[in-house]
Amino acid sequence: MKSLIKDLVESYGPTGFESEVTDKIRSYITDYVDECYVDPLGNLIARKKGSGKKVMFSAHADEIGVIVTYIDDDGFLRFSNVGGLNLLTLLGNRVRFANGVIGVIGREKGELKDLTLDKLFIDIGADSKKEARKKVAIGDFAIFHREFCDLGQRLVAKSMDDRIGCAVLVEAIRRLDQSNHDLYFVFSAQEEVGLRGARTAAYGIDPDLGIAIDVTRTGDTPEAPRMDVSLGKGAAIKVKDSSVIAHPKVKNLMVRLAESSHIKYQLEVLEAGGTDAGAIHLTKSGVPSGTISIPCRYVHSPSEMIDLDDVQNCVDLVLAICRDPLEEF
């Protein structure tokens, strides 16, 4: 499991450019599913055929990043965000472009409290616009440049959001035994800019039930915002975030399965943020949807931390859903 996670989090996959990630995922699961294809927007969709309910699971393959908007005469790059970035976590950090070019994020003088994105720049070591243009073009995307770090029970990396969700689905697919449902596992594109891939995937699949697998914030660090989710306390079953109110049937199903299968869980209310379930539940005439969240500290920073126990509980919950008759749907 650790090597799978390391492989996925160290991949290059900014929003809109998920193919390196989905190619790797495909190689892990292709022997375990009946169909595996990439759709026009870049979603990887794996299907395990069955005659029961049509269930769509979705974990997003993309990660937050930056896009080059301007190159100045001295070779410094100006950039915009792709997905939500915390400006303070950018300072001193490094980014990596698709071609391997590395840059350091610096800032103009001024008070930290007045920091805005347009006061930041990327230094790729070029000393002129001409030199910079040999390495990078306007519109190029970069991701955080950070290696996977094994702390034992806890793991730290960039893009745990949401490669850890992808890893949960990969592991569930590989361990899947009996299920008579028609199961779709979507590794979605472009979640970070507004759940775009999940929207078209759900339209095509038209599921009876939708489940997103994504990270959520925690309230367990010093002076953290008040939130009743902690690392290591189990799979978080979402009740609400700003994209969806979990359908009571879906939430109750997950709670029932967690209790009957002795899966450690916690209930989650995320006050700001959303997941693919936000798009899935609004598909066609509506799809009962919910989310299994992996608790994660420092979300949207280059050092997102998760607990392996929680990951295992999330895998178990996905498998419990696959095995259940799902009579209420």
Binding site for Zn ion (CB under 5 A): 161-162, 214
Token pair in block for residue 193: 């800019």
For residue 188, the cross-strand partners are 60
Cis peptide before 309 (omega within 30 of 0): no
Tell me if residue 49 falls in helix, strand or coil: coil
Contact (CB, 8 A) for 93 and 60 = no
Strand order in the sheet with 304-307: 149-150, 154-157, 304-307
Smallest gap from Cβ 111 to Zn ion, in A, equals 31
Catalytic residue check, 191: yes
How far apart CA 328 and CA 232 sit, in angstroms, is: 31
Strands 265-269 and 235-240 come out as parallel
243 versus 313: smaller Cβ distance to Zn ion: 243
Smallest gap from Cβ 272 to Zn ion, in A, equals 13
Smallest gap from Cβ 274 to Zn ion, in A, equals 9
Smallest gap from Cβ 69 to Zn ion, in A, equals 24
How far apart CA 118 and CA 96 sit, in angstroms, is: 19
Q: Which of 18, 191, 192, 304 is catalytic?
A: 191
181 versus 300: smaller Cβ distance to Zn ion: 300
How far apart CA 225 and CA 235 sit, in angstroms, is: 20
156 versus 326: smaller Cβ distance to Zn ion: 156
15 versus 179: smaller Cβ distance to Zn ion: 15
Contact (CB, 8 A) for 22 and 11 = no
Q: Which residues are catalytic?
A: 191
